[in-house]
A and B are shown apart, each in its own frame.
Chain A
Amino acid sequence: MLTRRNAVNVLMGIELILNSANLNLVAFSRYGTGNLQGQLFAVFVVVIAAAEVAVALAIVLTLYRLRRTPNLDEADFLRG
Chain B
Amino acid sequence: MQEVLRSLNRFWPEVVLTVGLLVVVLVDTIRVRGRDVANWLLTMATLAAAFVLTVRLGTQSTGLFEGMLALDPMGIFFKLLLIGSSLLVVGAFRFEGSRELRGLGQGEFYALMLAVTFSNLLLAAANDLAMLYLALEMVSITSYVMVAYLKGDRLSNEASLKYILFGAVSTGAMLYGLSLLYGMTGSTSLPVIRQVLAAGLTDANRLTVYVVALFVFAGFGFKTASVPFHFWCPDVYQGAPTPVTAFLSVAPKAAGFAIMLRFFFGGMAVEGTGAWDLAGTIDWPHVLMLVSVLTMTVGNVAALTQTNMKRLLAYSSIAHAGYIMMGVVALSENGARGMMVYLLAYVFMNLGAFLVVTLVHNQDGTFDLRDYPGLSRRAPLLTVAMAIFLLSLMGIPPLVGFMGKLYVFAAIIEKGSSYWWFAVVGAVNAAIAAFYYARILKTMIIDAGNEEKPAFRLPLADSAWIVLLILGNVVPLFLWRYVETLTRASLSLYAGR
Give the B-binding residues of A (Cβ under 8 A).
1, 7, 10-11, 14, 17-18, 20-22, 24-25, 27-29, 32-35, 37-38, 40-41, 44-45, 48, 51-52, 55-56, 58-60, 62-63, 66-67, 72, 75-80
Helix, strand, loop or mixed for chain B's interface?
Answer: helix
- Tell me the complex Cα distance, A66–B159, Å: 13
Q: Are B133 and A45 in contact (CB under 8 A)?
A: yes
Partner of B130, one of A20, A33, A41: A41
- Interfacial chain A residues near B72, Cβ < 8 Å: none
Contact B159 A17 (CB under 8 A): no
A21 and B179 within 8 A (CB): yes
Residues in A whose Cβ lies below 8 Å from that of B157: 59, 62-63, 66, 75
Known: A33-B186, A52-B168, A78-B238. A25 touches B161 (CB 8 A): no
Q: What chain A residues lie within 8 Å of B134 (beta carbons)?
A: 44, 48
Q: Is the CB of A10 within 8 A of B182?
A: no
Beyond A17-B172, A75-B158, whether A59 also contacts B144 by CB under 8 A is yes
Indicate whether A52 sits within 8 Å of B148 (C-beta atoms), given known contacts A24-B176, A34-B186, A78-B159: no
**A-B CB contacts (within 8 Å), total count:** 128
A7, A11, A41: which contacts B182 (Cβ < 8 A)? A41
A interface secondary structure, majority: helix
Whether A37 lies near B235 (C-beta < 8 A) is no
Contact B161 A7 (CB under 8 A): yes
Are B161 and A18 interface neighbours, CB within 8 A?
no
Contacts of B162 in A (CB 8 A): 75, 78
Compute how far the CA of A29 lies from the CA of B179 in the bound complex, rounded to whole angstroms: 10
B223 at the interface (CB under 8 A from A): no
B168 engages A60 (CB within 8 Å): no
B158 touches A25 (CB 8 A): no
Q: Given the complex of chains A and B, what is the CA–CA distance between A41 and B179 in angstroms?
A: 9
Write the nearest CB–CB distance from B314 to chain A, whole angstroms: 11
Partner of B239, one of A22, A51, A62, A78: A78
Interface members, chain B 182-236 (any A CB < 8 Å): 182-183, 186-189, 234-235
B275 at interface (Cβ–Cβ under 8 A)?
no
In the bound complex, what is the Cα–Cα distance between A67 and B152 (angstroms)?
A: 11
Q: Could you name 26 residue pairs across A and B whose Cβ atoms are closer than 8 Å?
A: A14-B169, A17-B168, A21-B175, A21-B178, A21-B179, A22-B179, A24-B183, A25-B182, A28-B182, A35-B187, A37-B182, A37-B189, A41-B129, A45-B133, A48-B137, A51-B141, A55-B141, A56-B165, A56-B168, A58-B148, A59-B157, A75-B158, A78-B155, A78-B158, A79-B235, A80-B234
The smallest beta-carbon distance between A67 and chain B, in angstroms, is: 7
Within 8 Å of chain A (Cβ to Cβ): is B363? no
B154 at the interface (CB under 8 A from A): yes
Contact A80 B130 (CB under 8 A): no
Among A14, A21, A28, A51, the most chain B Cβ lie within 10 Å of the Cβ of A21
Q: State in angstroms the CA–CA spacing of A22 and B134 once bound together.
A: 14
Pick from A41, A48, A59: contact of B160, CB under 8 Å: A59
**CB within 8 Å for A80 and B306 given contacts A21-B178, A25-B179, A59-B164:** yes
Q: Chain A nearest CB: distance from B408 CB in Å?
A: 30
B-chain residues with CB within 8 Å of residue A10 when the two chains form the complex: 165
B130 touches A37 (CB 8 A): yes
Shortest A68–chain B CB gap in Å is 12
**A51-B137, A56-B165 provided; 17 other pairs, C-beta below 8 A?**
A1-B169, A21-B179, A29-B182, A32-B183, A33-B183, A41-B188, A44-B130, A51-B141, A59-B160, A59-B161, A62-B151, A63-B158, A63-B161, A67-B154, A75-B162, A78-B235, A80-B234
Separation of A80 and B310 alpha carbons in the complex (Å) = 12
Q: Bound complex: CA of A33 vs CA of B189, how far in Å?
A: 13
Residues from chain A with a CB closer than 8 A to the CB of B235 are 78-79
| B180 is an interface residue with CB less than 8 A from chain A | yes
CB <8 Å contact, A55 and B187: no
Query: Closest A-chain residue to B168, C-beta based?
Result: A14
Tell me whether B173 is interfacial, beta carbon within 8 Å.
Answer: yes
Give the residues in chain B near A51, CB-CB below 8 Å: 137, 141
Choose among B164, B180, B186 the residue that contacts A52 (Cβ–Cβ < 8 A). Answer: B164
Residues A17 and B306 in contact in the complex (CB < 8 Å), given A55-B145, A67-B154:
no
A7-B161, A41-B130, A75-B158 in contact; A28/B152 too (CB < 8 A)?
no
